[in-house]
Each structure stands twice: as C-alpha cells, then as structure tokens.
Structure 1
Amino acid sequence: RHQLSGVLAHELSHHLGFHTVALTLSHWLSIPIVILARIGFFLRNVARAATDAFVSNSRALTIIGRAISRTLWALSWVFLAAIVAVDAISNLVGHRSEYDADQRAVELGYGPPLAAALRVVMRHGGGTRPVGWRARLAASHPPARTRVARIEAVLRQRRRSRRR
C-alpha cells in the first residue's frame, strides 16, 4: 500500500504535467507515417509483380518497372527510418517526463514510497541501464537505479534545507 501510493502519485504527476496528452498526440501523429510506409511496401510489391508479369518482353519497361519498385522500396525505408527516429526522440523526451513525474511525486510528499517501489523493480532486475546504444534508444523509461538516486538526492536536499 505504501509503495502503491508512490506509484499512483507518479502516474498522476504524468497527467498533471500533460505528459499523457503529449504522448497520445505523438502516437497519433506517427500513424500517417506508418500507413505511408506500409502502402509504400505494398506498392513496391505490386510494381515488382507487374514488372515481372507484364513487361518481361521489353527491356526498357522492365528497367522502368524495377526503378519504380526500387524507388517505392527506398521511400518506404525512409518512412520507417522516420518512425525509428521519432520513437528514439519520444523515448528521450519520455525519460525527461519520467524524471519530472518523479520530481512532482516527491514534491507531493510521495518520494519515499516511490523510491521503495522502484527498489522492488530493481530487485526484480529492472534497475539496470540497458546495454548498448540501441537498447538505450529503445528504452521508454530511465533505469530505476538512476531514478532512485535522483529521488534520494532530492529528499536529502530537502532534509538539509529544513535543518537550516
């Protein structure tokens, strides 16, 4: 129950900081890119099949058909690369929003229960930093160990400032 109050304060802090609105908006805005990538791959397959089926007698038409197919393939990969880039940027922004939500939970008085909940995550293997740059880019949350350290630093700072 103690830890749950910290987690709930953290999650409510996402709403207070409008993080959920930004995340929802970014996901909605990425949908057209995903659709365009899928359409591009589909049209590439259609162009390749049409080239193979209908223009095998004409070298010029075969070259044109294959050029169209390769162009569609390249455009599809550009869209997919854009999705990967947007996801990576979104995850980096997401890390910032996690730290912000942690900070707000501490300000609301739920720092110790949140840190306790994150320590449970750490005990179950979730507190380590992802290995490799790809894993770090794909991580939607910062390491629990880092978050606990930040929360504890803020709590120590608050205790020091109260003593003065």
Structure 2
Amino acid sequence: MSQQIRVLQCIQCKMYQVDIVKKASKWECKICRQKQEMLREFFRGSGPECRAKVQQLNLDRGMQEEQLEENLFLTAQQQLEQKENSPQKQEITLAKKTTNKWANYVDENTDKSTAQPSKIKVEKHEDISLDFHTSKNKVPRSQKRPAENIPAVNKKSCSKWNDYI
C-alpha cells in the first residue's frame, strides 16, 4: 500500500504544498516555516498526483495575482491620465514648460554666440604653498635609506614552495 499524501495551503504565504497524511492535524509550511492546523485539504492521492496538483494550483494562484496586479496598475494609470487631462493641470504644465530652469543662473542680456567665459579670480593665501616641486620632508638624500642594488629577479625567496615551482 502506498503512502497517502495530501495537498494543503499555507495561511501565511498562500502557497500550496504536499504533506504526508498523519494522525495529527498540525503541519509546518516548508516555505515560511509557519506551524499551523490543517483547515482544508484540497486533494489526496499518491505522490506524483499530488505534486502535479500542487504545481497546477500554484500556477493558477500566480496567474490570478499577476492579473490582479495588472488591473491595479491599469486603474492607477487611468486615474493619473484623468488628473493630467484636467484643464487646471494643462495650464500649470504649460506654465512650467515655458520657464527655463537655467534662466536664474544665466544673464538674459548676453547672447549665446558672443558670450565669453568669465575669468576666475584666484585668491592667494600665504599659509598654503602652491609649489609642488618641493618636498615637505627636508631630510637630505644621504640620510634616506638607499635602494637595494640587487634586482628583484635574483632575490632568493624563503618560501617552501620554491622547490615545486
């Protein structure tokens, strides 16, 4: 005799799933781990039958949710179009289109072809040095650490892996 399996729906995530028939009426959702009592059994049968039924039920539920979201989107879009088509909104949008955002920043008297770039005034501060060729460190070269004369290729490494390379 094969084992009986039933199809149940989770009350939290609304997903259909299979569960083995047992004496206890409590079961745990495999997706959201919600422990719950069995409220309704949608189908009972063998493993392959129940899996096929679960796939079909979840597909139908997903399509219904998708259709509902699409309908909500369409109604919101229609409401937005109705608001945009009202006469007051049209006047406001025309007024907004005629004003230029950059008008506040550009002189209206100057012509675009004759406009010349303005000269930037640079303030000189005595405490900030702009001489980039001098070093901050005033240590003479003789006291600095000399570079090694041996090229990096001839250096012998102390790694244990050198024998295998």
TM band (smaller chain):
under 0.3
Higher normalized helix content (fraction of residues):
1
Higher normalized strand content (fraction of residues):
2
TM-score (norm 1): 0.27
Larger C-alpha radius of gyration, 1 or 2?
Answer: 2
